[in-house]
Structure 1
Amino acid sequence: MSDTELDIASEYEALLQFLYLAPVGLAQTTLTGEIVMINPLSARLLMPLSRDGNLANLFTALEPVAPELRKLVGDFAAPSGQVCDALRMQVNAGIPGKSEPQMLAITLLKLDALRLMAVIKDVTLEAQRERQLKQNEAWFNAILTGITDYALVSLDAQGCVVEWNASIGRVTGFSADAVLGQPFSIFYPADAITPDRLRDRLREADDNGWSLDDGWRIKADGQRFWGSAMVAPLRERTELSASATAPAPHPGEPAYCLVIRDISDKREANERLRQATACDHLTGIANRRAFFEAANLELERASRSPRQTSLILFDVDFFKQVNDSYGHPAGDAVLRQLATLLTATFRQVDVVARVGGEEFAVLLPSTSLEAATAVANRLREAVAAQTVQVDGTAIHYTLSGGVATLSDPANGLDALMKQADRALYAAKAAGRNRIVTEISA
């Protein structure tokens, strides 16, 4: 063997050793996802996702948690470059006793016309820190910016307004008579918060020092605005200010303040960020990762304050036939229309998401099996009554759904998902275009 061949062999051996020992998962694939080379860390991270223990194809292994990868690669027209950067994937549905679901991030690089390189990392701890930093940043932002455009509201132990001041009138237009004694949900649209969620906000404020959320708020005249609402406990609990216009809480009872800020001017930037990180690329509703984050948080709340939590899984009937008969653009149009109907049918407080190719999920906090089944059937009927127009062709499709309600949060999200999936399978086996329920877990 010549010196040149020896040098090449040595470099190849060094490359293999690097791939083997690299602190991140590395995999080389074809453009269709067939795995050519994979290091042990990547195999360890991906193996739990493989349904049959086979890691022959990266896209197939990641289909349950990142169904958009094939499309992203297919749509990437450049001869080489970065297809996606640190796309996050939640790889489990919440296992009882596991405090934090595992989060992976994948970066895909197109090397040339034939090859892809995937870089896979476990970012579970990083995601935890980001959530905490986001909350801290929002807290300091509420204090240091826009300080003249806020409403400061005093609340009692039940979250009811006990004091009115000019700032409430300035931001929301509500008079003292309208808000005193009312729960602070009066500042939210009717379908944006439940009584259980209101109590959750108080408990989270007790546990963490504050509880903050952004979303639609409502003024006295019914006009909506994009607002940030922060609940913080008052450490001095014996009384509120001497100028209170309603009785102060009893000594020793918890008391809170609610700060509402109109951040409508920041909504566009926030929405762009949300679309980039938490929304499905095709339909615009929540993606799989955002769904599982929200669902695990909701079940944590339910474990502290028990309530019924329902889940609906929907699947478009005979979706492959739609693609085969009319083409993939028509299939995409069907999925987009379904996402629009889902958003119009369910409440703001519900979590509506695309979790697979033609599979959608809706988590309904504080909702019984009967109520969830009723709204699922309402959506099914709306779908059956409409068509999708694509290039002058009317496409009719139907929907099947499985509904489950988790009575015991200790069973975890995984149990709830399996229940709903069994019900969905039963709906399809019974002829499709129907909703089937499972009682409890």
Structure 2
Amino acid sequence: MESNDSVESLRAEHEALMHFLYLAPVGLVQAGIDGEIVMINPISAQLLMPLSPDGCLTNLFTALESVAPDLRLQCEQYPRNNGMVFEGLHIHLRPDERARTSTPQILSLTLLKLDDARIMAVIQDVTAEMRRERQLRQSDAWLSAILTRITDYALVALDRDGRLCDWNDSIARVTGFDEHVIGSPYSVFYPRDAMTDEHLLDRLREADKDGWSMDEGLRLRADGSQFWCSALIAPLPDREAFGDHPHAPAYCMILRDISDKRAATEKRRQAAFCDHLTALPNRRAFFEAAQLELDRANHTPRALALIVFDADNFKRVNDRYGHPAGDRVLCDLADALRETFRAVDTVARLGGEEFGVLLPSTGIEQALASAERLRLLVSTRLVAADGVEIAYTVSAGVAVFDGDAKGIDVLIARADEALYLAKSQGRNRVAAWTPELSNHENPPQRSRDAG
């Protein structure tokens, strides 16, 4: 009798749990430690089904591999028997090609380790919340700039073209530049290849539109040393009083040395915008940068290129040498990408063995040359793993932004088509997108397993 009561109690507990799963206002997935799904509620199924490579939801890690490739690794490396593996990981999804909007969807993923055998995932669509968060980050940066001691600042007057039109002691105090800097574009404070001519003007236009423009990163002193800096540009309210004089002050630029706060800033940035395995920017960082570049290119037309790289036959590397060796190959490829591309380029891990590079102010010939330079560099490298040396190659697809490519999803699709062409022609090569590649209703889809 007591045994029957226990069974009934367990059955009632299970039914209550299932009822909770199905009525929860967020996506919930219970899975084994290997990712095999045990229970999933309708919201999770709705959010995850479009990501599943085979249309089946049997493994959580497999379903999310293309957009969050290191979930399995993070779960394996979590040191405790239970607890929160991570909270609020943001996953950027490519827009549905059939949808009318080109806005990427953003999912928030929290992963809990219940015990040595079970995990629980909480999934939410936070697209709208993330837009509001970006606005709040900008507002917080503005308030921080106002409330910090004025002695931390260099106050720089800029003309309508972004050139320094006077000099003062604060510029010398923060940057070391003397009065000879007058007449230079404000990019003189940026490291080489960290800004293009178009970007210099973009920030002025963004300041005109929004009232101010702020960015943060490495800046240069006169002696060549670098420091971590917050830079704000705002239009001067009385600039019309100077009429059309080309060298009259039109903007105020405020440079603030925040090197002492860099560690905390970098920690927050890495948690939100870095790939866990390679430390490259992640999909979230890539899509934010891509949307900003496309907005700028739509406002003021300029060249913009995208390269998608894929490690050839990567599944064979994992199968032959093991996943840890495969991870070392991906980290080596990330290092090669850092060595090859400019500071102004956005280099990101898009998923699995796929990497993307967004190149502002770059046409097709220059992009092809850069892709070929990376391909050749990789072909000469050997990755040491467990006493063996692994050789690997990459293929690349290159596409450029034009009036027909209305969103980042179209640009990525074109680069993917060129990448498929490079793979089909034998791998270890670079191909460019042409309109002929899209002259069929159902372009072939590259299989990840095919590499």
TM over 0.5: yes
Instruction: Please list, as runs of the form range in 1=range in 2, the aligned pairs for 1:135-214 lying within 5 A after superposition.
Output: 135-177=138-180, 179-214=181-216
Equivalent residues of 2:282, 2:350 under 8 A apart: yes
> Are residue 339 (structure 1) and residue 324 (structure 2) matched?
no
1:199–1:143 distance in 2 versus 1, CA, 3 Å: same
1:62–1:323 distance in 2 versus 1, CA, 3 Å: closer
Question: Greater CA deviation, 370-379 or 296-305?
Answer: 296-305
Q: Distance in 2 between matches of 1:92 and 1:74?
A: 27
Instruction: Name the count of aligned residue pairs.
Output: 433
List per-residue Cα deviations over 1:7-52 (Å, max 9, x = no partner).
6555544433322121111111222222222212222222232344
Q: Distance in 1 between matches of 2:249 and 2:355?
A: 40
Equivalent residues of 1:228, 1:261 under 8 A apart: yes
1:331–1:47 distance in 2 versus 1, CA, 3 Å: closer
**Structure 2 counterpart of 1:218:** 220
> Are residue 360 (structure 1) and residue 355 (structure 2) matched?
yes
**Structure 2 counterpart of 1:287:** 282
Equivalent residues of 2:95, 2:102 under 8 A apart: no
> Are residue 70 (structure 1) and residue 72 (structure 2) matched?
yes
- 1:175 corresponds to which letter in structure 2? D
Q: Distance in 2 between matches of 1:354 and 1:11?
A: 42
1:428–1:43 distance in 2 versus 1, CA, 3 Å: same
- 2:57 corresponds to which letter in structure 1? L
Question: Greater CA deviation, 54-63 or 208-217?
Answer: 54-63
> Are residue 402 (structure 1) and residue 405 (structure 2) matched?
no
Report the secondary structure of 1:54's partner residue: coil
- 1:122 corresponds to which letter in structure 2? D
- 2:285 corresponds to which letter in structure 1? A
What's the TM-score, normalizing by structure 1?
0.91
Equivalent residues of 2:102, 2:407 under 8 A apart: no
**Structure 2 counterpart of 1:308:** 303
**Structure 2 counterpart of 1:104:** 107
List per-residue Cα deviations over 1:312-342 (Å, max 9, x = no partner).
1111122233333333332222221221111
Equivalent residues of 1:94, 1:412 under 8 A apart: no
Q: Distance in 1 between matches of 2:293 and 2:56?
A: 33
C-alpha RMSD of matched pairs (Å):
2.5
Equivalent residues of 1:399, 1:433 under 8 A apart: yes
Deviation at 1:404, TM superposition (A): 0.7
Deviation at 1:119, TM superposition (A): 0.8
Deviation at 1:5, TM superposition (A): 6.4
List per-residue Cα deviations over 1:130-178 (Å, max 9, x = no partner).
211211111111121142021111112221222221111221122222x
Report the secondary structure of 2:407's partner residue: helix
Q: Percent identity?
A: 57
Q: Distance in 2 between matches of 1:388 and 1:53?
A: 35
**Structure 1 counterpart of 2:255:** 260
Equivalent residues of 1:157, 1:249 under 8 A apart: no
Deviation at 1:109, TM superposition (A): 1.5
**Structure 2 counterpart of 1:15:** 17
